[in-house]
């Protein structure tokens, strides 16, 4: 199974001090490092969030460099999905402004034999990166 990482998942993976960093790393280890994918929206979102949020303190150049390093790492392997979807591909369940990007990413993933991986519980058909249960 290949997973298109949502922006929130990509940021958590790429930034060691993100609140969900350990959560995504634990999932990847448990799944034996499945193939991951990014697309223009998720990559731009990564750079925007890391360079816009004062808590992260990155410049655009630093965020870009970090993402390039992350994608070059051999584990997990990354693939780039080209975005060839226009608005006609937006799922019917996307009814609010907040759901438009989620719907677009979910449809893009499905059409490229992937599943959208996210921390957002409200995206139909997406894979929820669950919190590990303590024993």
* Model confidence, pTM: 0.91
User: For residues 133 and 33, what is the distance between their CA atoms, to the nearest angstrom?
Assistant: 19
Q: Is residue 94 part of a domain?
A: yes
Q: Is residue 135 part of a domain?
A: no
pLDDT, one tens digit per residue, over 85-98 is 988 889 999 999 98
**How confident is the model over 25-69, as pLDDT tens digits?**
999 999 899 999 999 999 999 999 999 988 888 999 999 999 999
Q: Rounded CA gap, 91 and 94, in Å?
A: 6
CATH of the domain at 79: 3.40.50.1010
Number of independent structural domains in the chain: 1
Domain contains 133: no
Q: Is 126 helix (H, G, I), strand (E, B) or coil?
A: coil
Q: Are 6 and 116 in contact (CB under 8 A)?
A: yes
| Residue 88 belongs to some domain of the structure | yes
Helices (H), 1-135: 7-14, 21-30, 40-52, 60-72, 97-111
Look at residue 134 and tell me if it is in a domain. Answer: no
Q: What is the span of the domain harbouring residue 10? A: 2-128
């Amino acid at each position: 199974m290949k997973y298109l990482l949502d922006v929130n998942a990509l940021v958590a993976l790429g930034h060691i001090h993100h609140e969900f960093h350990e959560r995504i790393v634990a999932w990847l280890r448990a799944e034996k490092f499945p193939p991951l994918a990014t697309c223009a929206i998720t990559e731009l979102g990564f750079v925007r969030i890391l360079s816009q949020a004062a808590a992260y303190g990155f410049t655009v150049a630093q965020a870009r460099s970090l993402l390039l390093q992350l994608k070059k790492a051999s584990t997990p392997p990354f693939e780039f999905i080209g975005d060839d979807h226009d608005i006609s591909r937006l799922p019917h369940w996307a009814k609010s402004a907040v759901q438009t990007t989620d719907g677009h990413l979910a449809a893009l993933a499905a059409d490229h034999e992937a599943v959208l991986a996210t921390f957002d519980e409200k995206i139909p058909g997406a894979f929820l990166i669950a919190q590990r249960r303590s024993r």
